[in-house]
Amino acid sequence: MRTRKSWQEKLDNGREPKVVRLEKSFGGIPAGAEMLVSTPREVDLFLRQVPSGQLVTLDEIRNKLASKHGSDGACPMSTAMFLRIACEAAWEQIDQGRDPGEVTPFWRAVPLDSPLAKKLSCGEGFVRKMQKQEGTASSATSRSSR
């Protein structure tokens, strides 16, 4: 019997980003527009480029990835799921003994008051600690609503 996939296995799913034309409007993207369906690995690579001391919102991630692929927008649902996968895969590495400075800095994309912060295996406390260490903790709550 196969056990549940690790977050790292979910991160490395082997898929490529694809752009699809929408028949119906979805997630604020109108019918007829092109929507990017990214990948967990692409979101992970994006997070690795966020400088220390800076925060990025899910909307910023979506917009920048969509622009990179020349699409009108990026899927809000899959991008959010891929962000969680990237977060959990990084935490899995930390939980196995890696230093937080050696993994994807997912805390730079997790607002403290977000549902994601409450779901993560590392807990809100770890996200708060890392944001405080980088000097972004006070601004990490309200940015999610922008």
Domain count, the chain: 1
Both ends of the chain: CA-CA distance in Å?
Answer: 45
Residue 106 counted as domain residue: yes
Q: What is the pLDDT of residue 141?
A: 56
Q: What is the pLDDT of residue 137?
A: 72
pLDDT digits (tens, 9 = 90+) for 120-136: 999 999 999 999 999 98
pTM of the model: 0.91
Q: What is the pLDDT of residue 138?
A: 60
Residue 17 counted as domain residue: yes
For the chain, strand residue ranges (E) read 18-21, 34-37, 73-74
Residue 144 counted as domain residue: no
Q: In DSSP terms, which residues pair with 34 in a beta bridge?
A: 21
Q: What is the pLDDT of residue 142?
A: 46
CATH code assigned at 19: 1.10.10.10
Query: 77: which residues sit within 8 A by CB, 6+ positions away?
Result: 27
Q: What is the pLDDT of residue 121?
A: 97
Residue 1 counted as domain residue: no
Residue 146 counted as domain residue: no
What's CA 10's distance to the chain center, in Å?
13
Which of 84, 70, 59, 86 is closest to 144 using CA atoms?
Answer: 59
Q: What is the pLDDT of residue 3?
A: 83
Residue 143 counted as domain residue: no
> 105, 47 in Cβ contact below 8 A?
yes
The domain in which residue 73 lies consists of: 7-138
* Cα atoms found within 13 Å of the Cα of residue 123, Cβ hemisphere only: 4
Give every residue of the chain whose pLDDT is below 70, as ranges. Answer: 1-2, 138-146
> 72, 33 in Cβ contact below 8 A?
yes
Which residue in the block uniquely carries the two structure tokens 């690790």?
Answer: 6
The one-letter amino acid at 4: R
| Strands across the sheet containing 73-74 | 18-21, 34-37, 73-74
Q: What is the pLDDT of residue 140?
A: 56
